[in-house]
């Protein structure tokens, strides 16, 4: 079952409580803290452009890549409405193929790398990113923490009943493979007031900080910093979002 197919068209509605402006500010704080010179950014797993569009408005030159045509079509529609020009490519980042090199920054936000479930694939993404960056180029990304995927989302079930959309979200955590399987069922109100049902199964990999740091070192990255929960400080045991910042 494809991920982010029908879900793409209600993704922004369900993410409406995420503070993307704060996310953009945090990314800019990191860039400032690192004293990095950033004009161009390649954004991996850019989705519906929730960071791509505001960062473009801040005059960064951005190209976004995502595997889901549907997420990209929503991004295109939003960009057009806001009069923003975006370069968007449909690609599996596990087989990243981008021919512009000497990039200032590569970015991946909000779980993009949790969707890369095999070590080999993530190692390939890191190696390719290293290749694409300029000397001293900066790589910024975040993942949902091992704690969040194994314990918070873990084997729990969530649901929400909104006016126009309702969903059931059942999780199963496999502690041998460190994979969480998310079974999502959505009910979306159509023009006649009836609810259409669709389902998606998502799989996310829980990575420890040490696993990621080891892979980054293997790919040749240096000055690796690990932050938790939108602070420029080390993560705590119960941090749910872990940020990695490193340089070529």
Ligand X SMILES: C[S@@+](CC[C@H](N)C(=O)[O-])C[C@H]1O[C@@H](n2cnc3c(N)ncnc32)[C@H](O)[C@@H]1O
Would you tell me which residues interact with ligand X (CB under 6 A)?
4, 45-47, 50-51, 66-68, 71, 92-94, 109-112, 115-116
Q: What is the CB neighbour count within 10 angstroms for residue 5?
A: 14
CB 135 to ligand X: min, Å: 26
Give the C-alpha separation, 72 to 81, whole Å.
Answer: 14
Nearer to ligand X, 26 or 115 (CB): 115
Nearer to ligand X, 51 or 212 (CB): 51
CB 248 to ligand X: min, Å: 21
Q: Shortest Cβ contact with ligand X: which residue? A: 47
Token output for 127: 């190696």
Nearer to ligand X, 144 or 239 (CB): 144
Closest CA to 68 of 40, 49, 41: 49
CB 68 to ligand X: min, Å: 4
Nearer to ligand X, 93 or 182 (CB): 93
Name the 3-class secondary structure at 173.
Answer: strand
CB 65 to ligand X: min, Å: 6
DSSP 73-119: HHHHHHHHHTT---EEEE--GGG------SEEEEEE-SSGGGG--SH
């Amino acid at each position: 079952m494809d991920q982010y197919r029908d879900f793409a068209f209600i993704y922004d509605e369900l993410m409406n409580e995420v503070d993307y402006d704060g996310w953009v500010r945090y990314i800019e704080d990191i860039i400032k803290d690192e004293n990095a010179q950033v004009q161009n950014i390649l954004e991996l797993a850019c989705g519906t452009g929730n960071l791509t569009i505001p960062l473009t408005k801040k005059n960064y030159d951005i190209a976004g890549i995502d595997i889901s045509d549907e997420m990209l079509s929503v991004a295109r529609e939003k960009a057009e409405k806001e009069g923003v020009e975006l370069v968007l490519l449909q690609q599996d980042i596990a087989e990243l193929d981008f021919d512009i090199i000497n990039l200032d920054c590569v970015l991946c936000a909000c779980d993009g790398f949790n969707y890369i479930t095999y070590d080999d694939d993530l190692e390939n993404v890191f190696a390719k990113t290293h290749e694409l960056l300029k000397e001293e180029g900066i790589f910024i990304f975040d993942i949902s923490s091992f704690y969040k995927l194994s314990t918070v989302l873990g084997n729990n079930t969530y649901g929400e009943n909104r006016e126009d959309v309702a969903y059931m979200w059942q999780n199963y955590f496999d502690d041998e493979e460190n994979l969480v399987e998310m079974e999502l069922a959505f009910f979306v109100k159509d023009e006649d007031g009836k609810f259409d049902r669709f389902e998606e199964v998502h799989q996310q990999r829980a990575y420890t900080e040490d696993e990621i740091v080891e892979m980054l070192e293997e790919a040749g990255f240096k000055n690796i910093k690990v932050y938790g929960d939108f602070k420029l400080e080390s993560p705590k045991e119960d941090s749910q979002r872990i940020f990695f910042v490193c340089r070529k």
